[in-house]
Chain A
Amino acid sequence: MDVQISHIVKTFGKVRANDDISMTFQSGHIYAVLGENGAGKSTLMKILSGFQPPDSGQIVLDGQPVVFASPADALRVGIGMLHQDVLDVPGMTVLDNFILARGTHLLPDRHRARVELSQQADKLGFDLNPDAYVDSLTIGERQQLELVRLLSLGAKVLILDEPTTGISTDQKEVLFNSLRRLAHTESVTVILVSHKLEDVNALCDSVVVLRQGQVTGSADMPSPTATLIEMMFGKDLPRSGQRPGKHAHKGLNTVLSVKALSVPGRRVSLKDVYLDVERGEVVGLAGLDGSGQRGLLRACAGLEAPTAGWLYLEGRDVTHLNYHDRVGLGVAYTPAGRLEEGLVAGLTLTEHVALVSDRGTWVHWNAARHEAKDKIEHYSIRGTSESRVETLSGGNQQRALMALLPQNLKLLLLESPTRGLDVESARWVWRQLLARREQGAAIIFISPDLDEIIEYSDRVVVFFGGRATLIDDPSKTSMAELGRLIGGVQS
């Protein structure tokens, strides 16, 4: 089935996630859609698979314009998506899951379904036990089940979102073979969304590259890796806009010492990481989502239990201290989900101020209100002391989060501190953070924005597949080199 998308636009607030995107996918070919975090890949694929409508633009299938109201709608005309987190029902067997979405009958024909399941699986070279419970399967096997299910429901276009994360090399081989067969003998259109250049090289016929919501290029494979990286991350720009006063790591005044740390993850586990961070230093954690960087950050905060290794705060072993005890020692953590994890939706700013100050049994509401007003003034928060936090804009929520951080921090751990903020708000956040650095705090942060990491970090750690690579002087490292590390390409 030929898929043509033209002039797709999708905005979220001020962000243009898809900015006039047009591309064509031909029947029987395998495509890769490449791009770094936030480039707009997921948004585009969600539009193509019926999860969300575009603001404007058109999808044409074999010459017919189509509009989807739901993913089921898209699947009915032949577009199926394999999600990174497979959408199956864990408490049921493989066969039950296979039957679940197909039944229009009150009593499904289990025998016929069983036969169909095994025929389809055999054809793709999958070995699926129909009576196994889905919880007992590996991620790779759950993907296989989902593929079988999509194909049996008549999918002619398959979209696969990061399918090789968390599956074994053998399973990847089986998957790629089946995709090749589907494309080349059954004319299925395969679209692979990936960050991994290695996979793209091994499987795809052509690539399309997105950057900041726009198509920045396309190429037939094989293509030189350097060209792809340049399309994904942009050309190396002269870094004139860099902030002054980079901190040179001297190995003195170590605040945090990470030794041989391993942290289990849902799909990717962090393995054997070493890192020393000293007073007044900013360390950026780069990598594609789910490469292990979040595990490190949360393990440092005491929110994730490591399976091996040690953490030292100013020489003291804190590996087994819980989050609150580490906070007591001068560690702070701000999550990416400001309203989900950071602030308490439903409480006012005054109530937040009273909540984080731990003085005495009773709350002095007048004092708390005054303190809230001071903070509103000092941090230029648009809102009143009686505003409930969920009524504030994202930028003002971030300001409120910063205002609630205790003074005299030793270690500040930040998850995407400027997520969803406009340039001005993001700059403001960094001015505050750098002021904290001047006061002696060590800062470790995650960001999906490579430019932000390069601009503000004294050192950078790049994560790929749970492995960490330290870059001592990011200013001397080219974007291409970083891109290669992020994409897991051995240089």
Chain B
Amino acid sequence: MTPLQGSANTSQHSNRWLAQALVLIVGLLIIVGGIVAVLLLSGKDPASALNLFLQGSLGDATQRSLVVMRGLPILLAASGLLLTFSAGLWNIGIEGQMMFGAIFATIIARSVGNDTSGWIALALELILAAIGGALWALVAGVLKTKGRVNEIFGGVALNFIASNIALYILDGPWKYGARQQTAPFNAPALLPLVPDSGALSLPGIVIAIAGFVLVYLILKRSRWGLQLRAMGHSQRSAFLLGVRTERNVLLAMMACGALGGIGGALQILSPDPVSKGYLFPDSSGGIGFLALLVVLLANYQAAWVPLISLFFSLVPVGMLNLQTQIGLDPTLGRVFEEALVFIVVLANGAAARARHTMGEPD
């Protein structure tokens, strides 16, 4: 894996950033070409389709606010993953950690009455969400450090368990009427909206950006971030140079889980139409997996993550308009997103290989 650059070598850093920009642009062009081809083959006008797509995603304030708000959980989860990836950990369990964050936030959210203070409710929800995500990540971390279970396998198993726990709760103790869901949360439990802005919620945005900035600073400026990067390159050497690797594996997993957990809470705590405002079985909605793709697409470079997170939330919003207007299946958007990831990962791999054959270190 190509780990994050330290700020110690800034010139190399900007070169890498530019190289990644080039790869992304070329990848995007290939994807756009593919989309145009599909549209032409199905007898639709690409220009008007693009217009509909942009109208649907960026055309008015409501749509734009939808893109931003749906990007926040992705950004939080991807920020967390930057930490684990830097340490050489593939935290596939992020999806389950988001689900646990949502479940833990619900503990508070479903008991918030209409006369409760919104700020206190929100603070408690998010703190519990962070704890829930961190605990579920800690399980994967302990399995790895004490049980020698690879975090990928542990993560996959824990994802299943998390989603089954959610099913059990929603079918049993928290069941609302005949449906597999909790009762809709009362307004004070939800993120407060900026008036007349569509779906925008200032606290949500602030929290997500703060999470990302914190991760960025940790990786570039903190000793712990440097330790994580050293572990990502060589756990063995880092250990002998004095890094407490086992402890750091647990801490990195928990930090990632906490950020993912908060992302999971945002997934259920926004008022309609961003989210439903109650807990349901698929509350994490594959956002954790999407965040993994975001980090892959960014080639582990933190600076790219916010932009790509927004892009990943923009595509489905825009595709929805294409569906209603010209009947294009919205899953096509996902297909192209994932094809883009594939192309970019391939390009990064090829670049690393080229550097390797030219005798330069990766």
Note all chain B residues with C-beta closer than 8 A to A355.
223, 226-227, 230, 238, 241-243
Q: Bound complex: CA of A346 vs CA of B226, how far in Å?
A: 12
By beta carbon, the residue of chain A nearest B361 is A390
By beta carbon, the residue of chain B nearest A390 is B361
Task: Let me know if B64 is at the binding interface, CB within 8 A.
Answer: no
- Min CB distance, B251 to chain A, in Å? 13
Q: Bound complex: CA of A363 vs CA of B230, how far in Å?
A: 14
- Residue of B222, B236, B237 most packed against chain A (CB within 10 A): B237
Q: Bound complex: CA of A344 vs CA of B9, how far in Å?
A: 16
Note all chain A residues with C-beta closer than 8 A to B289.
none
Note all chain A residues with C-beta closer than 8 A to B243.
355
Pair B233/A347 contact, Cβ less than 8 Å: yes
Task: Say which residue of A350, A358, A369 sits within 8 Å of B242 (CB atoms).
Answer: A358
- Min CB distance, B95 to chain A, in Å? 29
Task: Let me know if A211 is at the binding interface, CB within 8 A.
Answer: no
8 closest A-B pairs by CB:
A346-B233, A344-B237, A350-B8, A344-B230, A344-B233, A390-B361, A386-B9, A344-B234
Task: Let me know if B3 is at the binding interface, CB within 8 A.
Answer: yes
- 8 of the cross-chain contacts (CB-CB < 8 Å) are A346-B3, A346-B361, A350-B8, A355-B226, A356-B242, A365-B7, A368-B8, A388-B361
Note all chain A residues with C-beta closer than 8 A to B240.
323, 333, 335, 341-342
Pair B6/A347 contact, Cβ less than 8 Å: yes
Note all chain A residues with C-beta closer than 8 A to B224.
361
Task: Let me know if A362 is at the binding interface, CB within 8 A.
Answer: yes
- A370-389 contact mask (Cβ, 8 Å, vs B): 1 or 0: 00000000000000011010
Q: Bound complex: CA of A275 vs CA of B236, how far in Å?
A: 28
Note all chain A residues with C-beta closer than 8 A to B227.
355
Other A-B pairs, 7, CB within 8 Å; known A354-B223, A355-B230, A363-B223: A335-B240, A346-B233, A351-B226, A351-B230, A355-B226, A355-B243, A363-B222
Task: Let me know if B244 is at the binding interface, CB within 8 A.
Answer: yes
Pair A354/B226 contact, Cβ less than 8 Å: yes
Pair B241/A344 contact, Cβ less than 8 Å: yes
Give residues in B with beta carbon < 8 Å to A. 3, 6-9, 12, 221-224, 226-227, 229-230, 233-234, 236-244, 361-362
Q: Bound complex: CA of A386 vs CA of B12, how far in Å?
A: 10
Task: Let me know if A345 is at the binding interface, CB within 8 A.
Answer: yes
Give residues in A with beta carbon < 8 Å to B. 323-324, 327, 333, 335, 340-348, 350-352, 354-356, 358, 360-363, 365, 368-369, 385-386, 388, 390-391, 404
Note all chain A residues with C-beta closer than 8 A to B9.
348, 386
Task: Say which residue of B6, B221, B244 sits within 8 Å of A351 (CB atoms).
Answer: B6
Note all chain A residues with C-beta closer than 8 A to B12.
386
Pair A341/B236 contact, Cβ less than 8 Å: yes
Pair B222/A404 contact, Cβ less than 8 Å: no
- Min CB distance, B124 to chain A, in Å? 27
Q: Bound complex: CA of A356 vs CA of B223, how far in Å?
A: 10
Pair A327/B237 contact, Cβ less than 8 Å: no
Pair A342/B237 contact, Cβ less than 8 Å: yes
Pair B8/A360 contact, Cβ less than 8 Å: no
Given the known interface contacts A361-B223, A365-B7, A386-B8, the answer about A356 and B361 at a Cβ–Cβ threshold of 8 Å is no
Pair B236/A340 contact, Cβ less than 8 Å: yes
Pair B6/A348 contact, Cβ less than 8 Å: yes
Q: Bound complex: CA of A354 vs CA of B242, how far in Å?
A: 12
Pair B237/A369 contact, Cβ less than 8 Å: no
Note all chain A residues with C-beta closer than 8 A to B362.
346
Q: Bound complex: CA of A422 vs CA of B123, how far in Å?
A: 63
Pair B237/A341 contact, Cβ less than 8 Å: yes
Pair B241/A352 contact, Cβ less than 8 Å: yes
Note all chain A residues with C-beta closer than 8 A to B237.
340-345
Note all chain A residues with C-beta closer than 8 A to B226.
351, 354-355, 363
Q: Bound complex: CA of A74 vs CA of B226, how far in Å?
A: 48
Pair A362/B222 contact, Cβ less than 8 Å: yes
Pair A345/B361 contact, Cβ less than 8 Å: yes
Q: Bound complex: CA of A354 vs CA of B222, how far in Å?
A: 10
Q: Bound complex: CA of A351 vs CA of B10, how far in Å?
A: 13
- Min CB distance, B189 to chain A, in Å? 35
Pair A347/B229 contact, Cβ less than 8 Å: yes
Note all chain B residues with C-beta closer than 8 A to A390.
361
Q: Bound complex: CA of A391 vs CA of B361, how far in Å?
A: 7
- Min CB distance, B323 to chain A, in Å? 45
Given the known interface contacts A340-B237, A351-B6, the answer about A363 and B229 at a Cβ–Cβ threshold of 8 Å is no
Pair B241/A356 contact, Cβ less than 8 Å: yes
- Min CB distance, B232 to chain A, in Å? 8
- Min CB distance, A76 to chain B, in Å? 30
Q: Bound complex: CA of A35 vs CA of B51, how far in Å?
A: 78
Q: Bound complex: CA of A448 vs CA of B230, how far in Å?
A: 30
Q: Bound complex: CA of A369 vs CA of B7, how far in Å?
A: 11
Note all chain A residues with C-beta closer than 8 A to B239.
323
By beta carbon, the residue of chain A nearest B235 is A344
Note all chain A residues with C-beta closer than 8 A to B229.
347, 351
Q: Bound complex: CA of A368 vs CA of B226, how far in Å?
A: 12
Pair B361/A351 contact, Cβ less than 8 Å: no
Pair A345/B244 contact, Cβ less than 8 Å: no
Given the known interface contacts A368-B8, A386-B9, A390-B361, the answer about A345 and B222 at a Cβ–Cβ threshold of 8 Å is no
By beta carbon, the residue of chain A nearest B234 is A344
By beta carbon, the residue of chain A nearest B6 is A351
- Residue of B226, B236, B362 most packed against chain A (CB within 10 A): B226
Pair A345/B230 contact, Cβ less than 8 Å: no
Note all chain B residues with C-beta closer than 8 A to A346.
3, 233-234, 361-362
Pair A327/B6 contact, Cβ less than 8 Å: no
Given the known interface contacts A365-B7, A365-B8, the answer about A347 and B222 at a Cβ–Cβ threshold of 8 Å is no
- Min CB distance, A406 to chain B, in Å? 9
Note all chain A residues with C-beta closer than 8 A to B221.
362-363, 365
- Residue of B3, B223, B362 most packed against chain A (CB within 10 A): B223
- Residue of A341, A355, A388 most packed against chain B (CB within 10 A): A355
Q: Bound complex: CA of A342 vs CA of B240, how far in Å?
A: 7
Note all chain A residues with C-beta closer than 8 A to B238.
344, 355
By beta carbon, the residue of chain B nearest A366 is B8
Note all chain B residues with C-beta closer than 8 A to A354.
8, 223, 226
- Min CB distance, A298 to chain B, in Å? 11
Task: Say which residue of B223, B234, B242 sits within 8 Å of A345 (CB atoms).
Answer: B234
Note all chain B residues with C-beta closer than 8 A to A340.
234, 236-237
- Min CB distance, B301 to chain A, in Å? 15
Q: Bound complex: CA of A356 vs CA of B234, how far in Å?
A: 15
